Amino acid sequence: MFKGLSDRISQSLDRVKGRGRLTEDNIRQTLREIRMALLEADVALPVVKDFIEHVRERAVGQEVLKSLTPGQALVKVVNDEMVRVMGEAHDGLNLHGKPPVVILMAGLQGAGKTTSTAKLARYLMESEKKKVAVVSTDVRRPAAIEQLETLAGDIGAVFYRAESGTEPRRIAEQGLEHARRQHADVLIVDTAGRLHVDADLMQEVRDIHAAVEPLETLFVVDAMTGQDAARSAAAFGEALPLTGVVLTKADGDARGGAALSVRQVTGKPIKFMGVGEKTDALEPFHPDRVASRILGMGDVLSLVDEVQRKVDQEKADKLGKKLKKGKGFSLADFRDQLEQMQNMGGVGALLDKLPGAGKLPPGAASQFDDRAIRRQVAIINSMTREERRKPAVINGSRKRRIARGSGVEVQDVNKLLKQFTQAQKMMRKMGKKGGMKKMMRGLQ
Ligand code: GDP
């Protein structure tokens, strides 16, 4: 992500990072390099000027030159400035209204509106536990309507299909009515794409806006388009009261110009970022994390967030506390974990995101497929509370009873107990200080 920019900036910062002393000369050189890198990444010129000016002021001041580690201090100043131009904190969606709350998606054709509509629906369903409905008003491209219908089916969102020949504005109204009848919390309205800012289509989206009164009007824009993204956002912003931007295709080798320019040029925050073609490839846009990605500081935070969003936090916290106190990991905890794994789409989906997970032996994840997990949960459910707490009491006759109760063979009960013992060992390791870190390192 933003690789060119990231490489260039980290190279020039690497040269000063470890320095115990900086002179105005080498600060000037570093600033020149950063300025070139930003321009090449297609960041809008006013943004570049403002950025460099701010860094310069702070760099030659007390903060950097008088710091004990001037090199590091300069890196921090650059990082802070990047966060500032991207908007400081993450701006969430405003969903505080009478349901169904409407979100309108607008943008140029091919920007990723339909994909982002489905991604956002999935995100709201998973992370905010909302019931979400979607509707497409793109009557010019029936394929776009079908694309959304398929995606909605995949993720389990409510989809509204209007009769053919219905006007876009009416489709949106009917979609809202349908969402209301279905008791949806949120309705996302996908609109027709346009190749460029065109008066007729703009009027159409304005009419839709007036009809359904969205709380959020998001401009969807392709990160590959650099500072043009900011320009088209500004043009749409004149026609529509935009509340935010969805930056798509940030996973490509985009230059970073869009991410760094949009906020400053339009005054609108980037709220989400698309990082792939699948419906789960959407991340809330956190300026600080994006800045640290650009500066090559890695992005463990986003991964952590993603996992948390899908894991039942309360249970995880309870387990964490228990482990810290050195209390045993019980079969009931194991069952909670299995159920959470199921919620996350199986362990395979999670492993995809961990660095170095590709090195695990093939099939390591498949023993946790959906059916197997359900069977394991059933076995644990057939145990008594005592057995769950103290598996050592499970003797032959108890095993037979458990197997009968859950409709499996005794050998399946044995297998589960063995997997539990392994999990328990792993938990003990993670419970120790720094255990989780060590485990992650082990995977790399
Ligand atoms: P629309 O015309 O604005 O509705 O655009 P679509 O949603 O049909 O997307 C156009 C193309 O961009 C499709 O091939 C999508 O798979 C792709 N796309 C959308 N968002 C992303 C993203 O975040 N990353 C990548 N790599 N591709 C994306």
* pLDDT > 70: percent of the chain: 80
pLDDT band at 265 (very low <50, low <70, confident <90, very high): confident
Atom of ligand 1 nearest to the CA of 119: 20
Atom of ligand 1 nearest to the CA of 117: 7
Q: Tell me, what's the pLDDT at 183?
A: 97
Q: How far is CA 359 from CA 12, 35, 354, 428, in A?
A: 33, 40, 11, 23
The preferred substitution site among 105, 114, 115, 253 for testing ligand 1, maximizing ligand atoms within 8 Å of CB, is 115
Q: Which one is predicted more confidently, 337 or 296?
A: 337
Tens digit of pLDDT for each residue in 172-194? 999 999 999 999 999 999 999 87
Asked if residue 284 has its Cβ within 6 Å of ligand 1, the reply is no
Asked if residue 275 has its Cβ within 6 Å of ligand 1, the reply is yes
Which CATH superfamily does the domain covering 311-443 fall into? Answer: Signal recognition particle, SRP54 subunit, M-domain (1.10.260.30)
Nearest-angstrom CA–CA distance, 362 and 377: 24
Q: Given a cut of 70, is residue 100 above it in pLDDT?
A: yes
Nearest-angstrom CA–CA distance, 314 and 336: 11
Atom of ligand 1 nearest to the CA of 220: 3
The annotation status of 249 as a binding-site residue, yes or no, is: yes
The predicted model gives 347-357 an average pLDDT of 49
- Domain 101-285: which topology? Rossmann fold (3.40.50)
Tens digit of pLDDT for each residue in 193-229? 877 778 888 899 999 999 999 999 999 999 988 888 8
The yes/no answer to whether this complex scores an ipTM above 0.90 is: yes
> Ligand 1, atom 19: nearest CA belongs to which residue?
112
The annotation status of 190 as a binding-site residue, yes or no, is: yes
Q: Tell me, what's the pLDDT at 281?
A: 93
> Ligand 1, atom 9: nearest CA belongs to which residue?
112
Q: Are 413 and 403 in contact (CB under 8 A)?
A: yes
Of 219, 222, 230, 237, the C-alpha closest to 47 is 230
Which CATH superfamily does the domain covering 3-86 fall into? Answer: SRP54, nucleotide-binding domain (1.20.120.140)
Q: Tell me, what's the pLDDT at 354?
A: 47
Lowest mean per-residue pLDDT among 31-40, 307-316, 402-411 = 307-316
The annotation status of 291 as a binding-site residue, yes or no, is: no
The annotation status of 112 as a binding-site residue, yes or no, is: yes
The annotation status of 69 as a binding-site residue, yes or no, is: no
Domain spans of the chain? 3-86, 101-285, 311-443
Query: Does the N-terminal peptide bond of residue 100 adopt cis geometry, omega within 30 degrees of 0?
Result: yes
How many A from CA of 43 to the centre of ligand 1? 22
The preferred substitution site among 137, 277, 278, 285 for testing ligand 1, maximizing ligand atoms within 8 Å of CB, is 277
pLDDT band at 299 (very low <50, low <70, confident <90, very high): very low
3-state secondary structure the chain: CCHHHHHHHHHHHHHHHCCCCCCHHHHHHHHHHHHHHHHHCCCCHHHHHHHHHHHHHHHCCHHHHCCCCHHHHHHHHHHHHHHHHHCCCCCCCCCCCCCCEEEEEEEECCCCHHHHHHHHHHHHHHHCCCCEEEEECCCCCHHHHHHHHHHHHHHCCEEECCCCCCCHHHHHHHHHHHHHHCCCCEEEEECCCECCCCHHHHHHHHHHHHHHCCCEEEEEEEHHHCHHHHHHHHHHHHHCCCCEEEEECCCCCCCCHHHHHHHHHHCCCEEEEECCCCCCCEEECCHHHHHHHHCCCCCHHHHHHHHHHHCCHHHHHHHHHHHHCCCCCCHHHHHHHHHHHHHCCHHHHHHCCCCCHHHCCCCCCHHHCHHHHHHHHHHHHCCCHHHHHCHHHCCHHHHHHHHHHHCCCHHHHHHHHHHHHHHHHHHHHHHCCCHHHHHHHHHC
Q: State how beta strands 216-222 and 270-274 pair.
A: unpaired
Q: Tell me, what's the pLDDT at 309?
A: 56
The two three-digit tokens of residue 444, written as one number: 């790399």
